[in-house]
Structure 1
Amino acid sequence: MSRKLENLGIALEIDGLEKLSRRRDLEAVNSRLYGAELGSEARRSLEKEKSSLMNKASDYEKELQLLRQENRKNMLLSVAIFLLRTLIDAYWTL
């Protein structure tokens, strides 16, 4: 059980680090975009980079949501198999 909690903690830590990294990248682009006098080409390039980062973040969140949903399904299946096995063992020992 502690192994599962440890793995969950690691997964949450990785998730947090990835979110922090994306946030920092986006903040860096925003500060460059609004903090300096930029030519139209540089501004377009930064806007494109910002859009790309936003799309990556959105895709990551969608993928994470699907993975969590799949994880819930697998957990429910594991519980159902465990309960079925317990019932079979209980019936068998009667």
Structure 2
Amino acid sequence: MPKLKDKRRSNVSVATEIDRLEERRLRCQDVLERAEWRSRREKLSENERQELEDQMTNMNERVQKLDEELQTLRGENRRNMMLSVALLAVSAFFYYLFFYTEENS
């Protein structure tokens, strides 16, 4: 099953994947903030408090993993941008050479 997921993601652009991960990170961050608010405001039993702390730990781990994935994707996005700029510069150079030599001939 994970291979199918990877195949679907391979058809998605890096920018779209970054947006998707940022949305997931915001949702996790929201859940984490609500859990922190609940732990401060409500009187919880020891068992409830432990469950809430476990949930907060889990959300913190997810946020960290998403941050790592985002960092990797942003690096890939920068490489893609630099490649695009380099291709544009090479294309412009050859275009200039073609028309410049046409005028001199």
Same fold at TM > 0.5:
yes
Matched ranges for 1:54-65 at <5 A: 54-65=60-71
- Letter aligned with residue 87 of structure 1: F
Pair 1:71 & 2:77 matched: yes
- Report which stretch shifted further, 24-33 or 49-58: 24-33
**2: distance between equivalents of 1:81 and 1:36?**
58
Q: Which has the larger radius of gyration?
A: 2
- Report which stretch shifted further, 45-54 or 26-35: 26-35
For normalisation by structure 1, the TM-score amounts to 0.69
- For structure 1, which runs of at least 5 residues remain unmatched after alignment? 1-7
Matched ranges for 1:7-18 at <5 A: 15=22, 18=24
Which residue in the other structure is 1:41 paired with?
47
Which residue in the other structure is 1:5 paired with?
none
- Are the aligned partners of 2:29 and 2:59 in contact in 1 as well (CA < 8 Å)? no
Aligned residue-pair number: 83
- For structure 2, which runs of at least 5 residues remain unmatched after alignment? 1-14
Structure with more contact order per residue of length (Cα contacts < 8 Å, sep ≥ 6): 2
**1: distance between equivalents of 2:33 and 2:81?**
37
For normalisation by structure 2, the TM-score amounts to 0.63
After TM superposition, give the deviation of residue 23 of structure 1 in Å. Answer: 3.2
Which residue in the other structure is 1:88 paired with?
94
Q: Secondary structure at the match of 1:78?
A: helix
Q: Secondary structure at the match of 2:53?
A: helix
